[in-house]
Amino acid sequence: MSDFPGWHGTTIIAVRRGGQVVVAGDGQVSLGQTVIKGRARKVRRLSPGGHEVVAGFAGSTADAFTLLERLEAKLEATPGQLQRACVDLAKDWRTDKYLQKLEAMLIVSDGRDLYVITGAGDVLEPEHDVTAIGSGGNFALAAARGLMETDLSAEEIARRAMAIAADICVYTNGNLTVEKISG
């Protein structure tokens, strides 16, 4: 596997402000130093059991889709209980031999709660109403944290932070998918 150049090129950010959560993701997918696709859709709206959730993913696309399907199943089993569904997914991801090999991270929100789910068994809540993942995640996170001091809306913060990340990270572009959800 070390000979494989690896997929890169995702920045996902989530900002919670004013009763709304905005999740934004860029569209670039790269293989090694080559851009394979510039308009990938890495932020999606899920509606299991009539309860809307927005999810953004970083990492392998097939792995992320597998995790999103599992999350939807968990949400259907526990309607309206996002935290429980996330914890159950993280437990499975950590203990199931098949799932352990998946290489992705998720940001999920129902408009009220906001979580980052990792393959290490983590279900993390951001402290400052903003979180980011992916190759440009730290750049977007730093920009958004600074912008939280302004009067900008959640969407404006997410868009500006993503623009800053795209200017710095070669694996991030400015083709955004933005989803909003209210709590």
> Active-site residue numbers?
10
* Distance between CA atoms of residues 19 and 38, nearest Å: 31
Buried b (16+ CB within 10 A) or exposed e, 128-167: ebbbbbbbbbebbbbbbbebbeeebebeebbbbbbebbbe
Closest CA to 26 of 42, 14, 50: 42
- Residue at token pair 């914890």: 87
Give the residue from 102, 127, 126 showing the smallest Cα distance to 115: 126
